[in-house]
Amino acid sequence: MSSDPAPSFLLRAARVHEVFGAGATAFATILAARMDGAVLWVCESWQADALHPPGLAAMMDPARLLLANTNTQTDTLAVAEEALKDGAVPLVVIVITRALDLREGRRLQLAARAGNTTGLCIIPEGMGSNAAETRWHAAPVLDVNRSDSTLMRWEIIKNKSGTTGAWHVRWDSETRHLHMVPPTGDRSGFAGASG
């Protein structure tokens, strides 16, 4: 087991990335926990109750989170572009409800580059934009060994400047650290050693 995450987990800064799947929120939260400063979470207002801050507290301090609740996706994108361009927050999480066209995706990329800010779009499955730097599929996985586990499978399915791959990761809420775990099949050897 490697306690130091692979370098490819550090999303390239000043770019917009995409994530989908059941573990997308956890992916975004873990990413936010690894940065310092405020994090802007842009979503439409009907989704506003989706996040539960006491659960968030296991990964990051909810006080660092700013929510922007918009009425339409157009507003969501405008707010995200503004925040990305401004650079006052290191990470902007954008919850997308319909597919972005190339122009919208490209504008977000340019804004992220101008403000040196990382953007992360949480997208519904199959609604990725061609402009995204990377696209991730995050899904929770059953951990047969640990009852308090947050084992997840993160798979990079699109990468503009690198290779694709899949990793099993687990968040340790006590040390606030991301652990890399070998996939279930290869783990018979050190089931006792993990933990």
Partner 1 sequence: MHPVDGPFALTLRQDNSERLYCLNSHAEQAGLHCGMSLADARAFCTDIVCHPARPDLDARFLVALRRWAMRWCPWVGYDGTDGLVLDISGSAHLWGGEGALLANIRARLGTAGLEVRLGLGCTRGAAWARAHYGTQAEQPLDTLPVAALRLDDATCTALQRLGLRTIRELSDTARAPLARRFGPALMMRLDQALGHMPEPVTPALDPPHYGVRLTLPDPIGLVSDVMAATGRLLDALCAKLHAQGTGARALVLTLRRVDQGSQQVELRLAAAMRDAARILPLFERGVATIEAGFGIDQLRLEATLTEPLAAQQSGLGAASKAPDRLADLVTRIGTRIGLENVRRFLPADSHIPERSFLIAPAAHSAPATGWRSGQPRPLHLFAPESIAATGPTPPARFRWRRMHLHTARAIGPERIAPEWWFDDPNWRTGMRDYWCIHTRQGRRLWLFHTPQTPGWYVQGEFA
CA nearest to 138, candidates 173, 167, 161: 167
Element (DSSP H or E) covering residue 78: helix 73-86
Q: Which lies closer to partner 1 via its Cβ, residue 147 or residue 188?
A: 147
Q: Which lies closer to partner 1 via its Cβ, residue 9 or residue 159?
A: 9
Least distance between partner 1 and beta carbon 82 (Å): 6
Least distance between partner 1 and beta carbon 22 (Å): 6
CA nearest to 93, candidates 37, 38, 42, 20: 42
Binding-site ranges for partner 1 (CB under 8 A): 22-23, 25-26, 29, 37-38, 40, 45, 48-59, 61-71, 75, 78-79, 82-83, 86, 88-89, 139-144, 147-148, 150, 152-153, 171
The pairing of beta strand 65-70 with beta strand 39-44: parallel
Least distance between partner 1 and beta carbon 68 (Å): 5
> In the structure encoding, which two tokens stand for residue 171, read together?
């968040």
Rounded to an integer, what distance in angstroms lies between the CA atom of residue 108 and that of residue 118? 10
Least distance between partner 1 and beta carbon 84 (Å): 11
